[in-house]
Amino acid sequence: MSIRESSLPIVVDGLRLAGVACVPEEPRGLVVLLHGIPSSAPPDPGDEGYPGLARLFASSGWAAAWADMRGVRGSQGFFSIEGWVRDARAMVDAARAIEGTSALPVALVGSSAGGAVAVEATKRGAPVDALALLAAPAAWVSFANDTGAAVTRITEEAGMPLSPEVLADPGPWASEFERVVTERAITSLRIPVLVVHGTADDVVPVDHARRIADKARNAELLILEGAPHQLRRHAAAVEATLEWLGKTLR
């Protein structure tokens, strides 16, 4: 299968995001991939990250787009969860502008914090037809409750920059997490939702998946025995997502 790969130009709030688009011949739909908060663990040998995941989706017939959101790796700006919600909307718009994708059904596939961002962006009007949430938090375990720990996790563990204003007074920044809550935002959505979680997730407890599915109007829940937090690396999770997209976005 021939796949066209190119950079994905995205500018939001004056910030340039580093992105990639992978488009096969006659794509069956468009998938926009949203990453989570970066891990401090070293990557596995041969792990191609989200560019590799986009290529995998493209090899299965889906046009796939991905970008580092603000404050992550090759993208500009300081991290904020509200900023990531705006980035997600801009990513969808940029992906829909790719030649040959404007009339395709669109799915957001969000991992971990990217799942929470995907739900909130959709609630605020991102034009998508389906959501797949991989190891997404139903609510934030610590960000809104322990500001000091949240700042440490972002700056030291995840390696993302925060603005000088946030470092001086992180209260308003931390309060943003109280507005981006998956189990609350999901109640307003009518589109199909896939919720996937592993029983061996040591970052987001598996009961979060059940809480999200219980609140959603149209959700399918898949619990994978022994699966870890980073489901993009878990073959069964990726295969299940592709299968669900195939039957959902006909």
pLDDT digits (tens, 9 = 90+) for 147-171: 888 899 899 989 999 999 999 999 9
User: Whole-model pTM?
Assistant: 0.96
Residue 145 has pLDDT above 90, yes or no: no
Going along the chain from its start, the domains and CATH numbers come out as 3-248 (3.40.50.1820)
If you average pLDDT over every residue of the chain, what do you get?
Answer: 94
pLDDT value, residue 250: 82
Instruction: Please state the three-class secondary structure of 104-172 as a single string.
Output: CCEEEEEECHHHHHHHHHHHCCCCCCEEEEECCCCCCCCCCCCHHHHHHHHHHHCCCCCCHHHHHCCHH
Going by pLDDT thresholds of 50, 70 and 90, the confidence category of residue 48 is: confident
